[in-house]
Amino acid sequence: MNFEYAAAPESRSVIKIDPVYGHFINGKWVDGSVHFNTINPATEEVLSSISLGSAADVDAAVKAARSAFDKSWSKLSGRERGKYLFRIARIMQERAREFAVLETLDNGKPIRESRDVDVPLSAAHFFYHAGWADKLEYAGVDTTTAPHGVVGQIIPWNFPLLMLAWKIAPALATGNTVVLKPAETTSLTALLFAQVCQQAGLPDGVVNIVTGDGSTGSAIVNHPGIDKIAFTGSTEVGKLIARAVAPTNKSLTLELGGKGANIVFGDAAIDETVEGIVNGIFFNQGHVCCAGSRLILQESVADEVLEKLKRRMDKIRVGDPLDKNTDLGAINSAEQLAKIRELTAAGEAEGAGRWSANCALPTNGFWFAPTIFTGVTQAHRIAREEIFGPVLSVLTFRTPAEAIEKANNTPFGLSAGIWSEKGSNILWATQQLRAGVIWANTFNKFDPASPFGGYKESGWGREGGRHGLSAYLKGSAK
Ligand code: NDP
């Protein structure tokens, strides 16, 4: 039986979007000389015009960050730094609804997720790091070392505010100042965060936000006044950055792509597992670096899981991201939609079986129905490459050793999931899997206290938890 839902749209009246935005440099708004539009990917409506950061804008931001580091931030005690972080966290909570609506409009993700996941987790990152700021000597990091100084941070479009929080909170807690560039398609919540910094009375220049495209990111990476780069995004750009930073003294952490294996053993609780599979790949439209994008099913339960999965997928509500009933929102950009279409076409051409949920897609904007591919082999592109969309590749196995072999047969190593009733199965598989984060009987659970990061082409360094703190202190870790 299908339930009918009345539309339950969240109000846009809680936010105010300026027609034009400048950069946030040294505590002030500085208009750029060139601008580009940011759009709502669900409707293609132009939301605002954003400044395209030039090398000169980046230089001004780095100088402001250096001066703030030398004159104010590095001289404050951990306790004082912590107070600012607590203040920022509280203001983010107070303005949570604004952040959620703005994130959903600019990114296309459902309001249910921005409201219940992105925004609360972002505030939690500031609370968590506020707590550490005056207790670094108890965090197990080398506190005889100093902060790096000025940190350049470049973030992607899939979790715009959350990735900002992952980057800025530990950097400030450990005494660094920052120059951050949001992704070209999702700058608005970073610009609202700049207003929060002003509201919190953060000293000028401690946080600088320069908007722009890849050329702006490259200007940050190559600026000689930057001491450390923290990047989250594609493996391709991560490699470019690693090459640029290699001959310099800059420190570097990279959080790159993934092709997470979600392994279902024959003894798993099937109904719970199906929910976990759905959450693993369809959360945030599959725009998740640690998504469970390869489902590896034991043959004995494959038919049952697939039948229940398809039934469940037909109930996924695709549509207006501002509607509180929506499960799956819009694809973030025309470019990303083209990439998903290209890879799914390759899946069909290479012989995998395609099945998509029976849902009506809106006519404007960028949309893709939840889709699975069965009969996928290790050689298929859809088993090897990151699709970064609501598309699941299904493989099967007979023995546990075969499951591990398939799960590890990837250039990535970011995440994995295991579904089994047996603790011994879970512990054994966990020890064999080469992945930075492994979930058991759940998926896509995040906490500021839990370090996150990958092996192999998924990057290096950890973010979050005590491990993440050391990445922002000289000598403690790269
Ligand atoms: P990118 O890696 O290009 O973008 C990440 C960030 O880096 C953005 O802020 C981007 O700016 C910036 N950037 C782009 N080029 C450079 C450069 N040469 N030097 C410094 N910074 C740069 O990812 P895309 O947005 O292009 O997405 C491409 C693919 O990457 C996706 O399809 C997906 O597979 C993967 N991806 C993985 C993510 C992850 O979390 N692991 C996150 C996002 C994407 P701008 O946005 O202006 O281009």
pLDDT (tens digit per residue) in 1-23: 566 789 999 999 999 999 999 99
pLDDT attached to residue 142: 75
Q: What is the DSSP letter of 325?
A: T
pLDDT of residue 478: 41
Q: Rounded to an integer, what distance in angstroms lies between the CA atom of residue 194 and that of residue 3?
A: 42
Nearest 5°: phi and psi at 436?
-70, -35
Give the pLDDT mean for 275-300. 98
Assess contact for 65 and 178: CB atoms under 8 A: yes
Q: Which atom of ligand 1 lies nearest, measured to the CA of 236?
A: 2
Handedness of CA 401, 403, 406, 412 (dihedral sign): negative
Residue 205 near residue 67, CB atoms below 8 Å: yes
**Ligand 1 close to Cβ of residue 321 (< 6 A):** no
Q: What is the pLDDT of residue 450?
A: 95
The answer to whether the CB of 206 falls within 8 A of the CB of 68 is: yes
- Give the pLDDT band of residue 140 (cuts 50, 70, 90): confident
Which pLDDT band, with edges at 50, 70 and 90, does 161 fall under?
very high
pLDDT score of 4:
78
CA distance 412 to 261: 10
295 lines ligand 1 (CB under 6 A): no
User: pLDDT tens digits, residue range 323-374?
Assistant: 999 999 999 999 999 999 999 999 999 999 999 999 999 999 999 999 999 9
Quote the mean pLDDT of the chain. Answer: 96
Distance from C-alpha of 228 to C-alpha of 475, rounded to nearest angstrom: 12
Tell how far the Cα of 234 is from the centroid of ligand 1, in angstroms: 5
Distance 397 CA to ligand 1 centre (A): 34
> What are 473's two structure tokens?
């202190």
**pLDDT in the model for residue 475:** 67
Per-residue model confidence (pLDDT) at position 1: 59
Question: Cα separation of 444 and 296, whole Å?
Answer: 17
Rg, Å, the chain Cα set: 22
pLDDT category at 300 given cuts 50, 70, 90 is very high
Say whether pLDDT at 476 is over 80: no
Provide the whole-model pTM: 0.97
pLDDT at 143: 66
Q: State the residue for tokens 């400044």.
A: 51
Among candidates 372, 370, 344, 348, which has minimal Cα distance to 359?
Answer: 370
Please identify, by atom number, the ligand 1 atom nearest to the C-alpha of residue 336.
32
CA–centroid distance, residue 256 to ligand 1 (Å): 9
Q: Which residues contact 345 (CB under 8 A, 6 or more apart)?
A: none
C-beta of 388 in contact with ligand 1 (< 6 A): yes
Q: What pLDDT is attached to residue 109? A: 98
Q: How far is the CA of 184 from the centre of ligand 1 (A)?
A: 9
User: Does 24 have pLDDT greater than 70?
Assistant: yes
| pLDDT for position 354 | 98
Whether 343 is in the pocket of ligand 1, judged by its Cβ within 6 Å, is no
What is 7-20 written as a DSSP string? Answer: --BPPGGG----SE
How far apart are the CA of 293 and the centre of ligand 1, in A? Answer: 19
pLDDT of residue 477: 46
Residues acting as catalytic residues: 255, 289
Above 80 in pLDDT, residue 69? Answer: yes
253 pLDDT band, cuts 50/70/90, is very high
Residues 251-267: what's their mean pLDDT?
97
Nearest-angstrom CA–CA distance, 54 and 20: 17
Q: What dihedral angle (degrees, nearest 10) is formed by the CA atoms of 317, 322, 323, 324? A: 90
For residue 298, list its beta bridge partners: 397
Residue from 50, 234, 341 whose mutation best tests the ligand 1 pocket (most atoms within 8 A of CB): 234
For tokens 């950055």, what's the residue? 241
Average pLDDT rounded to a whole number, residues 428-433:
97
Least Cα distance to 113 among 371, 392, 327, 390 occurs for 327
Probe target for ligand 1 pocket from 237, 283, 289, 293, with the most ligand atoms within 8 Å of CB = 237
240 lines ligand 1 (CB under 6 A): yes
Closest by Cα among 309, 337, 255, 288 to 419: 309
C-alpha span between 368 and 207 (Å, rounded): 36
